[in-house]
Chains A and B, each alone.
Chain A
Amino acid sequence: MKHHINFKVNGDDYSLAVDPWRTLNEVIREDLNLTGTKLGCGTGDCGACTVLLDGRSVSSCLTLAVSVNGKSVMTVEGLAPSGEELHPIQEALIQTGGIQCGFCTAGMEMSALNLLNQTLSPSETEIKSALSGNLCRCTGYNQIVEAISMAADKMRDNAAEKEEQ
């Protein structure tokens, strides 16, 4: 029997009937056609499917769609919705060269955002441990670490500026 769920994705409201065994990953990708969220393993081991659920990062491949009823999901498509201005995390990833094939990138961005939602001055160790569930086979990680700390600096400066105004 299908279950009815209401939830938000990147600020938009959705109301869907879903089979109880379907994952959030499948629903986002196949039903909502938001294919920016990837499926790298389906077993919670790679982090490519990371999204934010009520502001906290989760593996969408392990999250049942029915469990997000009433909740708010953010995917990579919601990071810089206007498409014109890049999010500081995106800017920094370009600057440091932390993207090669790009398949891990969406998951990296969401895990990074999860961390930066909690602190804007993460140490290198904190970055590495916050992203320990995200695998990348191309970059060797260091440029991604650098990008996240660069983004944190920028976001801290932005926040300080806002306060001054």
Chain B
Amino acid sequence: MTAASIKEKQSLIGTSVPRIGVDGKLNGKALFSNDVAPKNSLWVKALRSELAHAKIESIDIKDALNTPGCVAILTAQDIPGNNSFGIINKDQPLLAGSKVRFVGDPVALAVAISEDVAELALSKIHVTYTELASIFDPEESLAPGSPFIHEKGNLLGKRLIKKGAPELAFEKADVIIERTYQTTCLEHAYLEPDAGYAYFDSDGKIVIYASTQNPHYDQADVASLLGLEADRVRIIQTNTGGGFGSKLDLNTQGFLGLACYLLKKPVRMVFSREEAFLCTSKRHPLKIKYKSAASKDGRLLAIDVKIMGDTGAYASYGLAVVSRSAIHATGPYEVPNVSIESVFAYTNNPIAGAMRGFGVPQVAFAHESQMDLLAEALGVSPLEIRRRNALRLGSTTATKQELTASVGIQTCIEAIAPHYEAIRNKTNSKDSKKLKGVGLGCMMYGIGNTGTQNPSTAQVELQSNGGIVLYSGAADIGQGSSTVLIQIVATELGVGAEKITLVNADTGLTTSAGATSASRQTYISGNAALDAARKLKEAILTEAATMLKANRKKLYMKNGNVLDSSGVDSSVSFEQIANKAKREGRPLKWQGFFDPDTTPLDPETGQGKPYATFAFAAQIAEVEVDILTAEVTVKKIIAAHDVGKAINPESVKGQIYGGAAMGLGFALMEEFIPGKTVSLKDYHIPTFSDMPPVECLIIEEPEPTGPFGAKGVGEPALIPTAPAILNAIADALGSRIYSLPANLERVMKAIHSGASKMKFRLNQ
């Protein structure tokens, strides 16, 4: 047996290793963010503005302080450091100082011996406001003469992308389709409301346990709020009950840090569901004006896209959404001539930030509707038009990035094609009251942050007992990154997954892996872990070669031993190697690093290489629309995803199943109406009975720069579902919906318009 084939046999890549940590989640022992605080902790509660835009004249805390059991009332004045934070733009105060900018903006904290007392104390704080004119529409916000929400003005950011000569192409086009699409504000609705606990450890460090996607960022911003060096703050991620982007922001961490620092006491905080709804970030509502041109033979010639986004009161991740929505506006298609403009404005709406997909689910709804409209105008099938235009090896994207590897969109389309044709051949009878429809949705998604460095680091250490420890800053928020990182390291070192101890997402023990966002942990942190494992492997083999007096090239690793493949019956264990290296002072902990190869985008033309690799997908939705009740039932979803390599196929499927559910919610029911939506009673997410069977087709077009060929799937899973469902509704009714969600009212309208076009009979 050669060393290569042995390695193959031992590989954990492509096997569904059970997730680490499931036992605790099953027996209730796993500690989440609201489970860690000891009984003597003080409770922190925030007083939040009920006005959308107002100047704070004064805050009277006397009565509140007199509440028995109230320990402190904290306001902006008490913040020792820089009272502004934010992942990209530091424009958000922890506690509003001069003015409030949305309903929910925090103005004061009560710290008390119980939650009830803290609440009572809050009710006794008297804030005097002078109300200012509020703006709830981004176009209005940018109109001349609008009141400024921030001193620098109301423009968050703008991204332009220019390629070719779109005006000329539109002149020569055989068909032009121009439509406007509108999406709505969405709530992440992760099941675990934000919570945390903070205390001073014996070294005088503030330790904060929190439900977070981004421990190293939290550390930097909390330290800056407190005016401390970063190493005086330690963030430890607890088990995290979902995040989907919203736990990238500082939700409880800043409040906990402040109260703990000022009072020198252990403190805890938990958001009520209402609070999580009111004041954590949302998905950006986008208005997308989309014009496409195609030739008779069904080739895309040009697009002209204008995106207007509402980022709400503060930036959060908004700037990332400005760029990403623009770059992805073509969809996974080659478009020779492109003009895209994406403009986002501040308003007095809730903060919009990162939500699974960073604007791509919104633009995918638009580009996929356009593809179907073009197909209809040209008399070709929706499948065929996608085939003709889908990106392939050698294609260039809107930013003129040439795709040189791992372009799986054609393969995804071919994988779903037979299913699509089979469903499409079922026809509706003219008298049926339940109309069937089938729709396609395709997407591409750039892995990692856009056109900027976003490195990850990791360490892998061989211990004296022969065990391996992997240190990674990556926060697993339920998607399964920890298990994947272990599989990568275990495979590289030829040991079982159980031999790897993972230490992760603790700023005291790990270095930064960057945020758990942009579907980046498998690709970027996976590569960093692999890099560290490779270096350790080199060190182990070098050590073993001396010990065995063997040819280093003939050595291989198996089950924690190094063996000689040249036939000599000798081996040495990791434990022996570790002890020798230790005695002789050689390092056993190795550092890994990976930063994807990207370049920044040109500010005028948007040209550049924003991502090192892209994931691709094609999905089918089969729906049934009841034309009497307007109820839409999704009957089936078939999802083909090019993930490069599925390191843990069950986890990949898990992401796809969950993504499809979130996409279904986006398509049919989810809508956050500021001021009206306060609880899960008003905000409906899919339940057991809404979910159809989902069939996953995993496509593996290996990414040469990915760990074992892997890319990512977390966000791609959700992106094609809503477009596929909306296209299926249009297929059933012969009439299209341009605003999400496709709720009963909108579907009913579409039914009437379909009936008036004589597509079907509405009455008996």
Contact = CB atoms under 8 A, between A and B. Distances in A.
Interface of A: 29-30, 34-43, 45-46, 48, 75-77, 79-80, 83, 86, 90, 93-94, 97, 99-106, 109, 127-129, 131-132, 134-145
A132 B189 contact: no
B654 A132 contact: no
Contact of A132 (B25, B240, B658, B687): B687
Contact of B480 (A40, A83, A100): A100
B133 interface: no
Contacts of B39: 30
Nearest to A97: B650
B272 interface: yes
B482 to A, nearest CB: 12
Nearest to A143: B657
Contacts of A30: 39
Given A41-B679, A140-B657, A103 B191 contact: yes
A140 B660 contact: yes
A101 B653 CA distance: 15
B685 interface: yes
B680 A45 contact: yes
B28 A37 contact: yes
Contact of A142 (B190, B239, B657): B657
A5 to B, nearest CB: 19
A41 B685 contact: no
Interface string B655-693: 001111110000000000000000111000111110101
B242 A137 contact: yes
Nearest to A45: B680
B423 to A, nearest CB: 19
B191 A136 contact: yes
A97 B478 CA distance: 12
A137 B670 CA distance: 13
Given A103-B241, A139-B657, 15 more contacts: A35-B28, A35-B32, A35-B35, A36-B27, A83-B27, A101-B239, A101-B241, A101-B477, A102-B30, A102-B239, A103-B190, A104-B191, A137-B189, A137-B191, A143-B657
Interface residues of B, number: 55
Contacts of A43: 273, 679-681
Which of B659, B680, B685, B694 is most buried by chain A, counting CB atoms within 10 A of its CB?
B680
Contacts of B661: 137, 139-141
15 contacts: A35-B34, A40-B191, A42-B272, A43-B273, A45-B681, A97-B650, A102-B21, A102-B26, A103-B190, A128-B689, A135-B189, A137-B658, A139-B658, A141-B691, A142-B657
Contacts of A109: 26
B688 A139 contact: no
B192 interface: yes
Question: Which are the 9 A-B pairs with shortest beta-carbon distances?
Answer: A36-B28, A101-B478, A103-B241, A102-B25, A140-B657, A140-B661, A45-B680, A35-B35, A76-B28
Contact of A79 (B27, B34, B657): B27
Nearest to A128: B688
A46 B276 CA distance: 14
A101 B191 contact: yes
B688 A131 contact: yes
Interface of B: 16, 18-19, 21-22, 24-32, 34-35, 39, 188-193, 239-242, 244, 272-273, 477-480, 650-651, 653-654, 657-662, 679-681, 685-689, 691, 693-694
A144 B25 CA distance: 14
A54 B479 CA distance: 35
Nearest to B273: A41
Contacts of B688: 127-129, 131-132, 134, 141, 144-145
Which of A37, A76, A136 is most buried by chain B, counting CB atoms within 10 A of its CB?
A136
B691 A143 contact: no
Contacts of B190: 101, 103, 137
Contact of A80 (B27, B188, B193, B478): B27
Contact of B240 (A93, A101, A141): A101
A97 B653 contact: yes
A129 B594 CA distance: 47
A48 B16 CA distance: 27
A51 to B, nearest CB: 11
Which of B244, B653, B686, B687 is most buried by chain A, counting CB atoms within 10 A of its CB?
B687
A100 B655 CA distance: 9
A137 B657 contact: no
Given A102-B22, A139-B658, A140-B661, A38 B32 contact: yes
Contacts of B680: 41, 43, 45-46, 135
B282 to A, nearest CB: 15
Contacts of A132: 687-689
Contact of A42 (B24, B241, B273, B691): B273
Contacts of A142: 657, 691, 693-694
Contacts of B654: 97, 100, 138-139, 143
Nearest to A144: B688
Nearest to B690: A141
Given A41-B680, A43-B679, A102 B478 contact: yes
B42 to A, nearest CB: 14
Nearest to A75: B28
B681 A101 contact: no
Contact of A101 (B28, B192, B273, B687): B192
A52 to B, nearest CB: 14
A138 B658 contact: yes
A129 B689 contact: yes
Contacts of B479: 100, 138
Contact of A106 (B19, B28, B188): B28
Which of A37, A41, A80 is most buried by chain B, counting CB atoms within 10 A of its CB?
A41
A131 B688 CA distance: 7
A102 to B, nearest CB: 3
Contact of A94 (B26, B32, B240): B26
Nearest to B35: A35
Contact of B29 (A36, A37, A93, A141): A36
A164 B175 CA distance: 74
A90 B27 contact: yes
A40 B273 contact: yes
Contacts of B31: 35
A100 B27 contact: no
